[in-house]
Amino acid sequence: MIRIADLYAGIGGIRLGFEQAFGKENVDCVFTSEIDKHAVTTYSANFGSENIYGDITKIETSEIPGHDILLAGFPCQAFSVAGLQKGFSDERGQAFFEIERILKAKKPKLFLLENVPNLEKINNGETFQFILSHLKELGYKLNYTILSGKDFGVPQNRSRIYIVGCLDHAKEIEFPKPLGVKTQVSDILEKNVDATYRLSDCRWNHIRTTKTENRTGFGGYKIWTGQEQYTVTLRRGYPAHPENLLFLTDGNPRLLTGRECARLQGFPDSFVIDKVSRRQIYNQFGNSVCVPVIKAIAEQIKKTFFEEGR
């Protein structure tokens, strides 16, 4: 049985990946922190409401139980291109110091941190080096890499940086290699999608007259047929800004459904998503992680640190 602490938990994508890798019966989540009440609703519907706390900045270190692995997909908006790369000057960028506080006090054997790949580059790399140096000062041996969902069976080009720290300097984790599985966007698409997901004439005309066709970056739009290998990154702002993820229909293009967003992140269809509004569903999956990537990393952690004889 491993004990985990799930910080900045969102809807629980990182926890889910660890439960899939270790077996749900072998994972004891002793502490969860998430400030968004809508995310907590979805999290509770899937994992239960036990040991869920709110704002981590208001939780005393003494209230946090000891644990083996700390998990944290800490807020990325402060470090992303879309978030204007404000880093630690953004309130959301202060999340790292809460992680540091808990690591220093509880000394878990391992941690896994997840963030946007741009974290390496902002401020000419100074922010990332600051983070690494502070983690090393706590006694952790560090390994990090960038992995994308499209390499782990998910038809989405979603790259993220993953940092693993361990107190046992004698062991070295190997990050998972791409699976080599061919993906296709149609694999996540639902049949007989409700007409409410189709763009109105007004909205579709606005996009066509203000955006550039077949561009997947800012300022453009693209209509996907489903035959592509993978999509661009699903973002939190979808569908308020859906231009990069519009899908072909026999009329105006349509949005992804909530379930399709879940599948695009590798969540199983058994994952409960309908306890919150449609808007919140989109926000939650845009903020979440590619579960198969987390599972693959967790399997490597299990192999390296928890299997007998290693």
State pLDDT tens for residues 156-213. 999 999 999 999 999 999 999 999 999 999 999 999 999 999 999 999 999 999 998 8
The pLDDT tens digits of the residues spanning 51-83 come to 999 999 999 999 999 999 999 998 754 444 444
Q: Which of 76, 166, 261, 290 is catalytic?
A: 76
All residues at 6 or more sequence positions from 240 whose CB lies less than 8 Å from its CB, including other chains: none
Beta bridge partners of 198: 254
Percentage of the chain with pLDDT > 70? 93
| Mean predicted confidence (pLDDT) in 242-258 | 95
- What is the pLDDT at residue 81? 43
Asked if the model's pLDDT at residue 87 lies above 50, the reply is no
Q: Annotated catalytic, 261?
A: no
Confidence of residue 125 (pLDDT cuts 50, 70, 90): confident
The mean predicted confidence, pLDDT, of the chain is 92
CA distance 310 to 296: 18
- Burial profile 71-83: b = 16 or more Cβ within 10 angstroms, e = fewer: bbbbbbbbbbeeb
227 CB contacts (<8 Å, ≥6 apart)? 184, 185, 186
Nearest one of 102, 170, 100 to 137, comparing CA atoms: 100
pLDDT band at 91 (very low <50, low <70, confident <90, very high): low
Tell me the pairing of strands 110-115 and 159-166: antiparallel
Nearest to 253 by CA among 203, 211, 184, 185: 203
pLDDT of 82 reads 43
The pLDDT assigned to 216 comes to 74
Q: Among 36-50, 84-98, 189-203, where is mean pLDDT lowest?
A: 84-98
- Domain 185-276 in CATH: superfamily? DNA Methylase, subunit A, domain 2 (3.90.120.10)
Q: Does 85 score more than 80 pLDDT?
A: no
Whether 94 has a pLDDT exceeding 90, the answer reads no
Which ranges of 242-290 does DSSP label H, i.e. alpha helix? 258-264, 278-287
Q: What is the DSSP letter of 118?
A: G
pLDDT value of residue 182:
93
Whether the Cβ atoms of residue 48 and residue 22 lie closer than 8 Å to each other: no
The rounded distance, in Å, linking the Cα atoms of 287 and 245 is 16
Q: Is the pLDDT of residue 6 over 60?
A: yes
**For the residues 223-229, what does the mean pLDDT come to?**
96
The fold adopted by the segment(s) 2-179+286-306 is Rossmann fold (3.40.50)
Q: 162, exposed or middle or buried, with CB in 10 Å at 0-12, 13-18, 19+? A: buried
Mean per-residue pLDDT for 27-52? 97
In this prediction, residue 308 carries a pLDDT of: 63
- Residue 141: CB partners within 8 Å, gap ≥ 6? 165, 166, 167, 168, 169
pLDDT at 121 over 90: no
* Structure tokens given for 194: 């409700």
Domains 2-179+286-306 and 185-276 share a fold: no
pTM above 0.85, yes or no: yes
What ranges do the domains of the chain cover? 2-179+286-306, 185-276
